[in-house]
Structure 1
Amino acid sequence: MNSSLSPFPASASSESTRTPQARILLDACNVLRTESAGLHAMIAALDAPPTPDGGGLGQAFIQAITRILSDNMRVVVTGIGKSGHIGRKIQATLASTGTPAIFVHPAEASHGDLGMLQKGDAVLAISNSGETSEMADIISHTRRFGMLLIAMTSCADSTLARTADIVLLLPRAPEACPNGLAPTTSSTMQLALGDALAIVLLQRRGFSASDFGIFHPGGRLGTQLRRVRELMHLGSSMPLGAPDMSLRQVIVEMTRKAFGCMGVVDADNRLVGLITDRDLRLALDLDLDHTHAADIMNTRPQTLGPDVLAAEALRIMNDRPRPISSIFVLDDTNQPVGIVHLHDLLRAGIA
């Protein structure tokens, strides 16, 4: 074992000197090293030049991406056993990142679920051995109706590989299981290659964080991807006034709306300034009836657009030299369309 990778000192490298706890961690690290070696072998296979016949994992990967995108295909993922569990995760990742995808269990496909497959679908069949008998019906169905069959397998001469249109051939790599039986390295490689498919498709589609939020409206992720427009206060709830408004009137407006600030708008309803509680405190020794909003307002206030992420709005409010508690939301013409308060963001779970 490479001692530079060991979490233990060289003096403890002998098996006989290791404590039971150290041996547990060593075994765990060896599992991860074995699986990591499989991932590195797959990276090398993807990055290798095409074979003399124009094949290879990299070329097959390119073909799969190109066909799915050019024909705007839905991806039907199938597999059984551990490959099936990996397939379900790959399907979920595809669907949540902009590629329509479903999972069809091979056994259920033979009992009616073949009806879920449609012409124009791409079927991603996952089988490490490529000889999974339960997949026979779904494979035959793709051949009968001319669907694109993409195989993900480690066996180039398997039935699945010989039948498929595109073969994502995983390099042979030892399983982390000491008996070489439990799918470990092979399933990790399947999962990683499925992630690569999904993310490359995402990138080629120009799938954005906003698009991602549409498919993840629930939970913390959905909360973080909410837009300011979803949380801002509208219309008459906004504290607004004209530049010639007296400070006494400003105090009344700010007290009534309770945002700790007031936006100053011109005759075209464009925001030209902002008055905060701090600005008022500094102006309390002035004549409240003869001093106007324009005399004390900040003419370069921080503002947001309505499509800014709520999480970004919170960062902007907190990162200023003096954190602010409220911020106006402007449209393209600099007219206020809303105002958002720090408490609105915190209540929505943006923190």
Structure 2
Amino acid sequence: MKIHHRIVIICCALASLLLPLVISIILAALILNPHTGAATDYTSGLHLTSPPPPMGHPLSLRIITFNIADGYLFTNNRPERMRAIGALLTKLDPDIVGIQESFVEKDRRILLDALSKSRLRYHTDYPAATVGNGLLTLSAYPIVETVFHRFQSNNPWYKVHQGDWWAGKGVGLARIRLPSGNRIDFYNLHAQAERNDEANSKVRYRQMGELAMFVNATRTATTPAFVVGDFNTTMGQPDLQRAMKGARLIPAVKMDSGIDVIFAAKTPGYSVTAVDTIPIRGETTGSSPAIFLSRAPTPAELMRMLFGSRGVTPLSDHPGFMSTVTISPASVSYN
């Protein structure tokens, strides 16, 4: 009887600890997560009301995509890595950068402060869902309009350990005004991760269809467009082929960049050529062990994150990629 009594007490104690967590998850699912703070109405945007004149001269741009793995519980050494990433981006001197997994607002401010001496004076994010979608676009030129499409297809809320649904993933558009008065339509996205879950592949396939529809509905007919991000799929896969075919995307990279890709969208009147692509990697000294997870940590991993020894850490668990591209006015035929 005593053993039985102790078991009952332990079960009641565990229930009292878990109940607030379960209630919090349900409230977040019902109240917080559906919210999207970013602008989502693109029915009367600048692409319709005031399209810019076509480019008259060739233009060279340096474009980066970089998943920086900045999220609570899943990654370590965040402030140190954000400062080092800011210093590296300043050195690379790109024109436009698409960042993914910039989830923590405090760390985002650290990154932006580290970019204070760079040309990347303009930025935008796309607030959505409980933890935010982590998309951050940086630009050397003014961002004159933004709009966000939150993927309607996502994995279910009860897969809390995976995190994708809670992040409100999608694609953010930034219209960027160049010194010439011309514009660039720049799309930054993060798609559903695989996570050894077959259902997630089906979700991502539908997301790639949503991406194509969003690009086609929002891009400016007289403006070159680029789509970058963490697609969580690779060349030749049906989901990525769906996006490429649907939005007429062509790779703007000169190397195999895996799941992190830079695309140009075919635009009548222009040709886009990737001149060079370099991977972006680096490391810095962290205040704790280098840990990058794509799921919630185990108790042992959490203890190591909190109390482990400091050491050298990579900047991210993803390499970034920078492509130098040339945009040339040209007659383009799709026949």
Report the TM range for the smaller structure's normalisation. Answer: under 0.3
Higher alpha-carbon Rg: 1
Instruction: Return the structure number with greater strand share.
Output: 2
Instruction: Return the structure number with greater helix share.
Output: 1
Structure ranking higher on relative contact order (CA contacts 8 Å, 6+ apart): 2
TM-score of the pair, normalised by structure 1: 0.25
TM-score of the pair, normalised by structure 2: 0.26
